[in-house]
Structure 1
Amino acid sequence: MSLSSHVEELKKKHAHLSAAVDEAQRSPGVSSSEITAMKKQKLRLKEEITRLAPAH
């Protein structure tokens, strides 16, 4: 897998997780600790994307 395709895959995962966080925040059955865990995972993905993506 090339670096650019890896970064694109990370971006897709980040977008999917972002949508999941938004949905979880609207759902009364999801605990705040679950939402916090998803947000931390989302942040880790964003940090990895930033680290791997070429600077413009």
Structure 2
Amino acid sequence: MSEQEQADIRLEYSRLKQEHADFDAAINAMIATGCDPLQIQRMKKKKLFLKDRLMALEDRIIPDIIA
């Protein structure tokens, strides 16, 4: 993997990590204000999708090395 590809992946990882944190804050605010449970569940699903995407990017940056 080239240096540019790694830099692009790291940039995407940082962006998604921030978006994941934003979703977490939004979900906590929605829970605190007693928002619609269905809407909260949808937000949690989106947050989980972001987490899965983050894990996939991590695997591309740091591949598993079996000794």
Fold shared per TM-score above 0.5: yes
Q: Any unmatched runs of 5+ in structure 1? A: none
Between the two proteins, the alignment pairs up a number of residues equal to 55
Kindly report the root-mean-square deviation, in angstroms, between the aligned alpha carbons of the 2 structures.
1.5
Structure 2 partner of 1:40 = 45
Between structure 1 and structure 2, the one with the greater Rg is 2
Distance in 2 (alpha carbons) for counterparts of 1:26 and 1:34: 13
Q: Which has the higher contact order (CA 8 A, sep 6+)?
A: 1
Structure 2 partner of 1:17 = 23
TM-score scaled to structure 1, two decimals? 0.90
- Structure 1's consecutive aligned runs of 4 or more residues displaced over 4 angstroms after TM superposition are none
- Identity in percent: 27
